Every structure is written in C-alpha cells, then in structure tokens.
Amino acid sequence: MDFPRYVFTSPGNLSAGWGRTYGEEIVNDDGEYEAAIKAGFYGTLPEAFEAAKSPKPVKAEEAKSEEPAKDKTAEPDLVAKAEALGIKVDKRWGPDRLAEEIAKAEEAKDAVRE
C-alpha cells in the first residue's frame, strides 16, 4: 500500500453530490491506517458510502453506560427555591446550572447581610 493516502468516512463535511457527504483524512503509514480503520474510516469512498447505508452496530462498551444519564430537566424543588430567591429561571437549565444560580444568589444575599 502506498502512503500517504486518504481514508474516508460518511457522513462528513464534504459534499459528493446527490445528497451524500463524506469526510477524509490522510494517513502516512500502516499504523495510522489501521488506527483510522478501527476508528470507523474506510479505505475507499464507495466503501464509506456503503457503510453509511447500513445501521451501525452498537458496541458493548457503548451499550452499557458506567453512569446512568442525568435527567436534564430541573427538579421542581430547585425551581421553587430559585424563584423564592428572586432568580428568573430559564426552563433550559438543568439541575447543575440551577444549583449554581441558587448558590450565587445565596452568596449575594449573605454579602448584603454583612
């Protein structure tokens, strides 16, 4: 195999026409080539397009997550506490951001008391 050479993935940020897109990367030796193939690249553009048509298998590592996904919606008790502190709550905020805003408001409230 000659190097340097391109490896391809699809979809990507380059247009191939007919609604198909692809990405490309240059590899300089066998080690880089093998790493790119393991990362989801293909040796030819037609192989990348063909792979994009078929559903991707889920790897075992991806299927079982170490930590359950956090609920992105704010908890009602945090919302109530924030509103009681006079915070204008943005409905896009999750529990982490809401807790941060509450902490800021409590610090400001304590600073006023001193």
Is the separation of the CB atoms in 13 and 2 below 8 Å? Answer: no
Question: 49 is written with which tokens?
Answer: 């397009």
Cα first-last separation, the chain: 74
**DSSP readout, 57-110?**
PPPHHHHS-SSPPPP-SPPHHHHHHHHHTT----TT--HHHHHHHHHHHHHHHH
The phi and psi torsions of 16 (rounded to 5 degrees) equal -110, 5
Residue 7 confidence class, pLDDT cut points 50, 70, 90: very high
Predicted local confidence at residue 63, as pLDDT: 55
For residue 42, the model assigns a pLDDT of 94
- Read off the pLDDT of residues 11-56 as tens digits, 9 standing for 90 and up: 888 888 888 899 999 999 999 999 999 999 999 999 999 888 877 6
pLDDT at 32: 93
d(CA 1, CA 37): 14
Omega before 95 within 30 of 0, i.e. cis: no
How does residue 4 score in pLDDT terms, banded at 50, 70 and 90? very high
Model pLDDT for residues 42-95, shown as the tens digit of each residue: 999 999 998 888 776 655 555 555 555 555 455 778 888 888 888 888 888 888
For residue 58, the model assigns a pLDDT of: 58
Task: Please tell me the distance from the alpha carbon of residue 68 to that of residue 14, in angstroms, as a whole number.
Answer: 35
